[in-house]
Amino acid sequence: MTNSKGYADAVMGLQWGDEGKAKIVDLISDKFNYDYTIRVQGGANAGHTVVHREKKFIFHLIPSSILNKNSISIIGNGVVFDPKIFFEELGALKSFDKNVDKRIFISDKATLILPIHKKIDITRDEILKIGTTKRGIGPAYECKVARVAIKLFDLITGDWVRKLKLLLQYYGIDDEDVFKENFKFIDQYVEKLLPFIEDSERLVFSVLKEGKSILCEGAQGAALDIDFGTYPFVTSSNTIISSVFSGGG
């Protein structure tokens, strides 16, 4: 993917995941000095392992190029985002780079994963026997398609409380305890997340216009694509090259 100045490359899996994408991203982001890396789809169901200078890192959300201190990482709009996992990973990276939080942004259009999504995921998988990671990925994408998801821009506008009520109504849940649980989960992260939230497609456009380079990182693999994989034993997003355009901004 190119424009008159900048360009973007992609690392995608062609099997069922576990192809070593993270190792390749870590290697080439440093070797070819990519200015930015974007994680384009999936959620914390991915497990990307990198051994960098004899130290092991496992990334579920943060792009694997984060260990390249000259590169800026973006979690794209196609990702379903778990703030708990994000801050756990960010905390672990602090020992490697105390300024790592200055090198990562999250798309304002990324979809928030809530405790209710995880509970629904667990309950459904007991029936469907798909073998999900039970991290709420599928239900979060479901809410996105149903237009009841909470996006990160809702944390900026403050509209997330209204949308949380709408989301629970969509699932037919009228339980004050469930509302309080999910409210508290979101509320504890709002102020922490605000500095990371960015209009990612505007950022991508400006980066390419400036002649800079972008590396796009996919999760899972083509055989798990929601449309072209081994359905129904697939993930909940498109894992093929098209996700670079729709999920990377």
pLDDT for 82 beyond 90 = yes
Q: CA angle 83-151-188, nearest 5°?
A: 40
Q: Select which of 30, 35, 48, 175 is catalytic.
A: 48
Distance CA 112, CA 163 (A): 11
Q: Would you call 117 a catalytic residue per the annotation?
A: no
Which band of pLDDT confidence, cut at 50, 70 and 90, is reported for residue 23?
Answer: confident
- Among 20-29, 45-54, 192-201, the range scoring the smallest mean pLDDT is 45-54
pLDDT of residue 225: 93
pLDDT for 1 beyond 60 = no
Average pLDDT over the chain, rounded to an integer: 91
pLDDT of residue 131: 82
pLDDT of residue 78: 95
Which band of pLDDT confidence, cut at 50, 70 and 90, is reported for residue 183?
Answer: very high
Of 172, 182, 192, 249, the closest CA to residue 216 belongs to: 249
Which band of pLDDT confidence, cut at 50, 70 and 90, is reported for residue 4?
Answer: low
Question: Do the first three CATH levels of 7-109+198-240 and 112-190 match, i.e. the same topology?
Answer: no
Helix, coil or strand: residue 51:
strand
Q: What is the 8-class DSSP label of residue 151? A: B
- Extents of the domains making up the chain: 7-109+198-240, 112-190
Residue 174 CB coordination number (10 Å):
10
Q: How many CA atoms lie within 13 A of 112 on its CB side?
A: 28
Q: Would you call 18 a catalytic residue per the annotation?
A: yes
pLDDT for 3 beyond 70 = no
pLDDT of residue 214: 95
Judge contact between 80 and 39, C-beta under 8 A.
Answer: no
> To which H or E segment does residue 75 belong?
strand 72-75
CATH, domain range 112-190: 1.10.300.10
Query: Each residue of 230-247: pLDDT tens digit?
Result: 999 999 999 999 999 999
Q: Select which of 18, 174, 187, 227 is catalytic.
A: 18
Residue type, 239: T
Query: Each residue of 25-64: pLDDT tens digit?
Result: 888 988 899 999 999 999 887 667 777 667 777 888 998 8
Distance CA 98, CA 168 (A): 38
pLDDT of residue 75: 96
Q: What are the backbone dihedrals phi and psi of residue 152, each rounded to the nearest 5 degrees, phi first?
A: -65, -25
Query: Each residue of 94-148: pLDDT tens digit?
Result: 888 889 999 999 999 999 999 999 999 999 988 888 888 889 999 999 999 999 9
- Find out if CATH 3.40.50.920 is the number for domain 7-109+198-240: no
